[in-house]
Amino acid sequence: MDLGIETNSVRDRVWMALDGFRIEVPSWGFANTGTRFGKFVQGGAATTIEEKFADAAQVNALTGASPTVALHVLWDLPGGKADVPAIQALEKKYGVNSGSINPNLFQDAEYKYGSIANPSAEIRGNALAHLLDSVEIGRALGSQDVSMWIADGSNYPGTQSIRKRIGWMEEVLGATHAALGEGQRMLVEYKPFEPAFYHTDIADWGMALELARRAGPKAKVLVDTGHHYQGTNIEQIVAWLLHLGALGGFHFNDRKYADDDLTLGSIDPYQVFRIFHEILSVGKDDQAQIAFMIDQSHNLKGKVEAMVQTVVTAQELYAKAALVDRARLAELQQECRLVEAEECFRGAFWQDVRPIVREWREARGLPPEPLKALRESGYVEKITQERNSQNARSEFRYA
């Protein structure tokens, strides 16, 4: 039976793919999160940066695929650059490194009407200062990427000049780019709506790309899979960014309607497979430019459990994409043999890679079933007992 792949090479391809696969976990993925209607706090949720490093280390120990943790400047380095030595100590202690540096320009009261696109030159200046701090922190930590999600926008037609704000953003991002050191990059993220509802200043990949280009060659585009309108063909955007040499990385998650920040592959796993296929279709050098990061909010699932599940799912979907017979597929595509091409492509998705991934884990000294290993480890019970996040005040929508 033709499963769309040569059976004898399946194992090799999966192992090779898994050996090269890394996905960064976010420090905030271990903390209590919620919706605008409230937060359901978890006893074991991390509230300190050390707890976040500990949890990230646990995920990496179980999966072997997440050696770095994304940091959020405001929450993880409230002291700014002064906190760098403490972070470095944690890196050493827990064996996971700092990953991307995430500035925060959406939380301070002064950013109510925008940060880098605020009509006030003074506030834009403050935003720039925070971005420059973030660049410096990144350099100090040896981190490659400063990941910029700009929440700026407006809620009502006519209340802001969409066009003037473009110019203001160009200025700030250009100045940020100028501060980047050797080996540093800035990633410009886009999002169509939320928390701004009428217009978001960087709403789609086209706007992110224009701003990145204008800023300079070290600026690339960051694709958050949840930041698109319904029906958008995300893999096509990925293909375009690859074509243009402008794809810097991903924030992975899944969603059903809006930016729901659900577990990767939980709603539409076939879409993730298609995205990985586009990436695996370019050369190794181009692939190496793409940072894989998780950006999810597990409001109901256990924090560490959900993160392990995410990494495992990402590994499996990546392994499936590695099984696409791209040479054969190219022939069928060229000849427009549609059904055969589709079966060749989707056949790799139908392949159950779980047994092979399990073997690979064992060969690499990892637990064959990470979720089971987590349950058996007692880790979650331990942190639930030790940590006092249960006492964290539940926060609600209305005062």
> Nearest distance from residue 19's CB to a second copy, in Å?
20
Task: Tell whether residue 171 is a contact of a second copy (CB under 8 A).
Answer: no
Contact in structure between 317 and 272 (CB atoms under 8 Å): yes
- Among positions 3, 16, 84, 175, the unique one binding a second copy when judged by CB under 8 A: 3
Q: What's the closest the beta carbon of residue 131 comes to a second copy, in angstroms?
A: 18
Report the chain's C-alpha Rg in angstroms: 21
Q: Residue 119: is the preceding peptide bond cis (ω within 30°)?
A: no
Contacts with a second copy in 275-294 (CB under 8 A)?
Answer: 277-278, 281-282
Q: Which is nearer to a second copy, 50 or 113 (CB)?
A: 113
Euclidean distance between CA atoms 92 and 86, whole angstroms = 10
Report the residue from 284, 285, 288, 300 that binds a second copy according to the rule CB under 8 A.
300
Phi and psi, residue 294, nearest 5°:
-100, 135
Specify the residue, 38 or 85, whose C-beta has the smaller distance to a second copy. 38
H-helix segments, 78-204: 84-94, 121-141, 162-178
Angle among Cα 360, 223, 161 to the nearest 5 degrees reads 165
Q: Which of residues 35-54 bind a second copy (CB under 8 A)?
A: 35-41, 45, 47
The size of the interface with a second copy (CB under 8 A), counted in residues, is 122
CB 221 within 8 A of CB 248: yes
Segment 234 to 253, residues that bind a second copy, using CB under 8 A: 235-236, 239-240, 242-244
Annotate each residue in 211-230 with x if it binds a second copy (CB under 8 A) or - if it does not, as one string.
------------------xx
Distance in Å, CB of 280 to a second copy, minimum: 12
Which residues inside 68-87 make contact with a second copy, applying CB under 8 A? 72, 75
Q: Is residue 335 a contact point for a second copy (CB under 8 A)?
A: yes
Q: Quick one: which of 79, 157, 283, 365 contacts a second copy (CB under 8 A)?
A: 157
DSSP 73-111: HHHH-TTGGGGHHHHHHHHHHHS-EEEEEE---SSSGGG
- Which residue in the set 263, 276, 295, 314 belongs to the binding site for a second copy (CB under 8 A)? 263
Work out whether 394 is an interface residue with a second copy (CB under 8 A): yes
- Residues 303-322 vs a second copy: string with x where CB under 8 A? --xx--x------x------
Strands (E), 327-375: none
Q: Which residue lies nearer to a second copy by CB, 136 or 210? A: 210
In contact, 113 and 160? CB cutoff 8 Å:
yes
Nearest approach, Cβ of 184 to a second copy (angstroms)? 25
- Residue among 178 and 244 whose Cβ is closer to a second copy: 244
**Cα–Cα distances in angstroms (integers) from residue 66 to residues 24, 54, 63, 291, in the given order:** 5, 13, 7, 12
Helix (H) or strand (E) holding 294: strand 291-294
Closest CA to 56 of 290, 299, 302, 303: 303
CB of 314 to a second copy, least distance (A): 14
